[in-house]
Chains A and B, each alone.
Chain A
Amino acid sequence: MTRPRRISLPEHTVEIVSDAGEGAQKAAIAFAQLCAKAGNGLWTVEIIPSEIRPPPHTTGSASGNRIRLAERSQVTNAGNLANVVLAFNEMALLSRLQAESLADDVLVLIDDQWATHENENYRVSYRDVVEQFRARGSTILEIPLQRETLRHVEDAQQGKNMFAVGLLCALYSKDVLVLQEVIRKIFKGKSKQVVDLAVKLAGAGYEYGLANLEQCFEINAVPTDVPKVAMNGNTALALGAIAAGFELCSMYPITPATSASHALSDLFEDFGGFVHQAEDEIAAIGVALGASYAGKTALTITSGPGMALKAEFQGLAVMTETPLVIVDVQRGGPSTGLPTKIEQSDLLHALYGAPGDAPKVVLAPSTIEECYYILSVARKIAEEFRMLVIVLSDANLATGQQLFDRPNVFATPPRSQLDLSPVPTNALPYAWDPTTGLSERLIPGQPGGMGVTTSLNHDRDGKACYDAERNKRGHAMRSRKLAALQQTLQRPRVHGAPEGELLLVGWGSTRGAIEEAVDMARGAGHSVSSVHLQFLSPLPPGLKDIFTKFRRVITVELNYSDDPQAPLITEENRRYGQLAWVLRAATLLDIDCFANVPGRPYMPVEILDEAKRILATMDTKSPAQRLTAVEGVS
């Protein structure tokens, strides 16, 4: 038997898709863990049908995973067009083409049972789709997935996925023994018969690959002694909530936030906490606020539509200076929108969604690793500043898996204890420091601190009042805390050179793709840099200074902006991406945006292309002129 020829590569992106329920997800998880064990850096993205039981053998039924694996241990985003796709049927394959996810020369591995299927419609559509791919320059490997699996089981539905992952193991020159170990772990708790069969099928897939593949890939890992974990952002949030010392998470189910609550529900009681599933999102934040008021800062997790329902309670948290943390795992909007897909469209709502002037802190993790740490930061700020902190995650972070350094859990500080020591009678509930607006709060149970906490305007003594002077003071003090926090923030680091032609500004989960695009652009000799904002409110210091070192500044965001070329759109009525709005207002600089709503993460190459397009338009204009303030208003 001649072994397949090995081709060494620095990285690859592979997609595995089947009908919902056929197990491509499981196969992908096993494959990702196999790669992780080998030391490959990786990022995975779930491919999820929007419906629970879509009709089989349709594009809407495609379910699976995209896996980007690399030699380097750090992979920061989902990558570019996929190099390999393994599909259980041609409609699943077609769905990836429609998603604009595959390279033209993608290597397609597809179950060949449809070529000779008794249903003529399947035969015809199989031939059509395969032809379509050939015409684009793809290589097609027709695999007897169904037939080979049937040699080991009666119902191929229950095993094709394991055969497939064995085949991938051969395709990527991985160790089949490690794969089988991974499978045993994944199937832990299933009967011995089921586990043994899965292991056997994976072995069979592997052997089939060795015997039949002409070439295979090798993506060597850079060995490291640093222990690594692989998890998705919602799991990271759940573990991070525990590490942050929260005791209560109150929520109402909503995609794509729910799985964070699932992960937390699984564990929280063992750690002395619990998840309360409230009757709606309003109650969910109300319960969290009540718990926070009672002295134990709580958390509520939701997504866009739920954020809308929480708006009034946000105002209450701000007015009463009750520490509180909201996580918004953003999805496509408005309304029900694209429930399972990524968008970064809640920034302005997070900043301004609560009626009245409601200053609050808004943070956004940019990696899955940051999802783990961010809730500790959020909680600390909420408590020290007596503020509402909103954490903006998104569907990309929520369901993607990333490999990162295992957090040192032994560095987790103990949960803070309630301080119920007496205070002097007449202690002020809002003893605002006149410079910073900061004050110590009183907690039920503290002798001497009795009094009402009210949603009405109030002064230092907490009592309702309606006059101008005390209304102005309340507003100023609540707002001042943001300035006090801003003074403690660091100037953001510029990725690339600190000055040049084009600066890309991002926030949230687009960081990896933006920085990779910058690296590619710089590698090709273009003067492009980027800066990433973790704090959206308050904005970090030094932005204007950083921006004015470049000729053009554009935000890169996954939200809607009007195309300047579209009918009726003028400079006067054009709507910008959300961060662009914020930065234009904050700096009075003419900041543009690359803001779009594809319902999937940006690929680095898309950002690169946009950067090159902008640079090309700039070259035609007069030479080096730095970005200056908008005329007449600076």
Chain B
Amino acid sequence: MSAIAKESLLEVCAADTHTLEDYDAERPRWCKGCGDHGVLAALQRVLRKNNVEPENAVAVSGIGCSSRLPHYLNTYGFHGIHGRALPIATGVRLSRPELPVIAIMGDGDCFSIGGNHWLHAIRYNINAVVLVLDNEVYALTKMQASPTTPDGWKTNTTPRGTYLHPLNPLSAVMGMTNVSFLAQTATWLPAHLDETIEKAWDHHGLSFVRILQRCPVFMPTAFGEGGVHFPVVFLEHEDGIPIHPSLLNRGPAQPHDHRNINEAQRVAVTVDPAPMGLLYQNPEVPAYEEIRWQRKAKPDYETFLQRLDAAMDNYTVS
């Protein structure tokens, strides 16, 4: 992030106590030009902007290049196993609902090996920011096809081109009961990325964000040479994700009501041009952990013992 941008941010948030450096951990080891760097920076900015105490946030990830992110973020982090970030994130939210949780996954991580958890997490609608860094390839394991690898693309497991049409994660998400937030953005649109993550942070419920992510090493020509020739359309709404005028060089804007599920489902199935922005938001969907916490009692020690005693009575025979 440029020094000037940092300065201006500091000015806006003069009252806040944390600096961006407070969220820096070790130096990122992603390749130069990797889109993951931008996602880290955007996350740090949103934490800074919300003045989150670093000890109170938990970043959970799976395995993949993208899942290294918690190593580079100075909060609590859990770098788990491939495909399983969402159950772990759910466990954190269920036991400590006071801690904000960010889940970070790759496309293979979330859509393939973690597919079952993905669909169910949307239905649980835990209150968490869920980011999929979708480079349309398995990068860490060196270029195998992922569910979102483009048609006919040659990878190490599809040397003669892929066999199937890529999965459309947006339409899958919009098909799930209880979906409460869906947005799409890209790492080559940093201002849009920032705004999207901020919107996701502010949402109450599971904010699912698919981030189209550049991988210059294994997918240098993907996304139309890294976004240069990639057809997009920006979804426009006064409560949506702000569209900076410079973005309009990349594609047109189109009015979209993200509160209308039918409209969101219609937009979600279109892939060309790729819809960018807030597809859907419904802040009324209850969060699973809150349902569970509301329904459980909070007995003091005395009451706890009395209840255990009463439970034991049911089995007492003499």
Of A276, A287, A295, A412, chain B has the most CB atoms within 10 Å of the CB of: A287
Whole-angstrom distance between the Cβ of B112 and the nearest chain A Cβ = 14
- A409 touching B87, Cβ below 8 Å: no
Whole-angstrom distance between the Cβ of A302 and the nearest chain B Cβ = 14
B120 contacts chain A at the CB level, 8 A cutoff: yes
Which residue in chain A gives the minimum CB-CB distance to B77?
A: A452
- Give Cα A454 to B67, complex, Å: 11
- A449 touching B308, Cβ below 8 Å: no
Chain B interfacial residues counted at CB < 8 A: 57
B275 contacts chain A at the CB level, 8 A cutoff: no
- B92 touching A290, Cβ below 8 Å: yes
B54 contacts chain A at the CB level, 8 A cutoff: yes
Q: A273-323: which residues lie under 8 A (CB-CB) from chain B? A: 273-274, 276, 278-280, 282-296, 298, 312-313, 315-316, 320
Whole-angstrom distance between the Cβ of B106 and the nearest chain A Cβ = 15
- B90 touching A444, Cβ below 8 Å: no
For A294, give its contact among B81, B86, B92 (CB under 8 Å): B92
- B91 touching A444, Cβ below 8 Å: no
A270 contacts chain B at the CB level, 8 A cutoff: yes
For A290, give its contact among B25, B90, B298, B312 (CB under 8 Å): B90
Residues in A neighbouring B316, C-beta threshold 8 A? 227-229, 406
- Give Cα A634 to B51, complex, Å: 65
Give the segment of B55-63, B188-196, B247-255 that binds chain A. Answer: B55-63
- Give Cα A299 to B289, complex, Å: 17
- A451 touching B77, Cβ below 8 Å: yes
- A286 touching B55, Cβ below 8 Å: no
- A229 touching B312, Cβ below 8 Å: yes
Residues in A neighbouring B292, C-beta threshold 8 A? 274, 276
B30 contacts chain A at the CB level, 8 A cutoff: no
Contact with B along A259-283 (1 / 0, CB 8 A): 0000000011111111010111011
- Give Cα A315 to B119, complex, Å: 25
Residues in A neighbouring B81, C-beta threshold 8 A? 312-313, 315-316, 455
B142 contacts chain A at the CB level, 8 A cutoff: no
For A286, give its contact among B54, B76, B88, B312 (CB under 8 Å): B88
- B55 touching A447, Cβ below 8 Å: yes
A37 contacts chain B at the CB level, 8 A cutoff: yes
A448 contacts chain B at the CB level, 8 A cutoff: yes
- B55 touching A294, Cβ below 8 Å: no
- B84 touching A313, Cβ below 8 Å: yes
Contact with A along B24-61 (1 / 0, CB 8 A): 01100000000000000000000000000111101110
- A286 touching B317, Cβ below 8 Å: no
B99 contacts chain A at the CB level, 8 A cutoff: yes
Residues in A neighbouring B73, C-beta threshold 8 A? 452
B80 contacts chain A at the CB level, 8 A cutoff: yes
- Give Cα A409 to B305, complex, Å: 6
- Give Cα A320 to B63, complex, Å: 15
A456 contacts chain B at the CB level, 8 A cutoff: yes
- B317 touching A445, Cβ below 8 Å: no
- A444 touching B99, Cβ below 8 Å: yes
Give the segment of A52-60, A241-249, A564-572 that binds chain B. Answer: A241-249
Whole-angstrom distance between the Cβ of A557 and the nearest chain B Cβ = 30
- A294 touching B99, Cβ below 8 Å: yes
Q: B63-98: which residues lie under 8 A (CB-CB) from chain A? A: 63, 70-71, 73-81, 84, 86-96, 98
- A445 touching B25, Cβ below 8 Å: no
Whole-angstrom distance between the Cβ of B42 and the nearest chain A Cβ = 19
Whole-angstrom distance between the Cβ of B85 and the nearest chain A Cβ = 9
- A451 touching B76, Cβ below 8 Å: yes
- B311 touching A239, Cβ below 8 Å: yes
Residues in A neighbouring B59, C-beta threshold 8 A? 452
- Give Cα A273 to B87, complex, Å: 18
Of B55, B79, B116, B299, chain A has the most CB atoms within 10 Å of the CB of: B55
Chain A interfacial residues counted at CB < 8 A: 75
- A450 touching B75, Cβ below 8 Å: yes
B8 contacts chain A at the CB level, 8 A cutoff: no
- B95 touching A412, Cβ below 8 Å: no
Whole-angstrom distance between the Cβ of A203 and the nearest chain B Cβ = 21
- A239 touching B90, Cβ below 8 Å: no
B163 contacts chain A at the CB level, 8 A cutoff: no
Which residue in chain A gives the minimum CB-CB distance to B71?
A: A452
- A296 touching B296, Cβ below 8 Å: no
Residues in B neighbouring A290, C-beta threshold 8 A? 60, 78, 87-95
- B84 touching A235, Cβ below 8 Å: no
B259 contacts chain A at the CB level, 8 A cutoff: no
Whole-angstrom distance between the Cβ of A35 and the nearest chain B Cβ = 9
Whole-angstrom distance between the Cβ of B175 and the nearest chain A Cβ = 16
Given contacts A287-B90, A447-B55, is CB(A231)–CB(B315) below 8 Å? Answer: yes
A414 contacts chain B at the CB level, 8 A cutoff: yes
- Give Cα A294 to B91, complex, Å: 8
Contact with A along B187-206 (1 / 0, CB 8 A): 00000000000000000000
- A272 touching B296, Cβ below 8 Å: yes
Which residue in chain B gives the minimum CB-CB distance to A293?
A: B78
A487 contacts chain B at the CB level, 8 A cutoff: no
Residues in B neighbouring A410, C-beta threshold 8 A? 305, 309
- A450 touching B74, Cβ below 8 Å: yes
Whole-angstrom distance between the Cβ of A224 and the nearest chain B Cβ = 8
B318 contacts chain A at the CB level, 8 A cutoff: yes
For A287, give its contact among B94, B96, B317 (CB under 8 Å): B94
- B95 touching A295, Cβ below 8 Å: yes
B117 contacts chain A at the CB level, 8 A cutoff: yes
Whole-angstrom distance between the Cβ of B190 and the nearest chain A Cβ = 25
Whole-angstrom distance between the Cβ of B268 and the nearest chain A Cβ = 22
Given contacts A239-B312, A271-B308, A449-B55, is CB(A280)–CB(B318) below 8 Å? Answer: no
- A452 touching B84, Cβ below 8 Å: no
Which residue in chain A gives the minimum CB-CB distance to B74?
A: A450
- Give Cα A38 to B318, complex, Å: 8
For A243, give its contact among B119, B297, B308 (CB under 8 Å): B308
A326 contacts chain B at the CB level, 8 A cutoff: no
- Give Cα A407 to B127, complex, Å: 40
- B315 touching A230, Cβ below 8 Å: yes
Given contacts A37-B317, A290-B60, is CB(A247)–CB(B95) below 8 Å? Answer: yes
- A455 touching B309, Cβ below 8 Å: no
Q: A446-499: which residues lie under 8 A (CB-CB) from chain B? A: 446-456, 463-464
- B305 touching A452, Cβ below 8 Å: no
B295 contacts chain A at the CB level, 8 A cutoff: yes
Residues in A neighbouring B84, C-beta threshold 8 A? 282-283, 286, 312-313
- Give Cα A410 to B60, complex, Å: 39
- B87 touching A287, Cβ below 8 Å: yes
Residues in B neighbouring A292, C-beta threshold 8 A? 91
- B91 touching A228, Cβ below 8 Å: no
Residues in A neighbouring B296, C-beta threshold 8 A? 268-269, 272-274
Residues in B neighbouring A403, C-beta threshold 8 A? 317
Which residue in chain A gives the minimum CB-CB distance to B87?
A: A286
Which residue in chain B gives the minimum CB-CB distance to A42?
A: B317
- B308 touching A412, Cβ below 8 Å: yes
For A291, give its contact among B70, B92, B308 (CB under 8 Å): B92
Residues in A neighbouring B312, C-beta threshold 8 A? 229, 239, 406-407, 409
For B71, give its contact among A228, A271, A287, A454 (CB under 8 Å): A454
A-B contact list, 18 entries, CB within 8 Å: A36-B317, A270-B297, A274-B94, A276-B94, A289-B88, A290-B60, A290-B91, A295-B95, A315-B81, A444-B58, A450-B25, A450-B54, A450-B77, A451-B74, A452-B59, A452-B78, A452-B79, A456-B79
Chain B residues in contact with chain A, CB under 8 A? Answer: 25-26, 53-56, 58-60, 63, 70-71, 73-81, 84, 86-96, 98-99, 116-117, 119-120, 292, 295-299, 301, 304-305, 307-309, 311-312, 315-318
Chain A residues in contact with chain B, CB under 8 A? Answer: 33, 36-39, 224, 227-231, 235, 239, 242-243, 247-248, 250, 267-274, 276, 278-280, 282-296, 298, 312-313, 315-316, 320, 403, 406-407, 409-410, 412, 414-415, 442, 444-456, 463-464
Q: Which 7 A-B pairs have the closest CB atoms?
A: A290-B91, A286-B87, A291-B95, A452-B77, A36-B317, A290-B88, A287-B91
With A442-B76, A444-B58, A445-B76 already in contact, 7 other A-B pairs whose C-beta atoms are closer than 8 Å: A229-B316, A269-B297, A280-B116, A283-B86, A287-B91, A290-B87, A291-B94
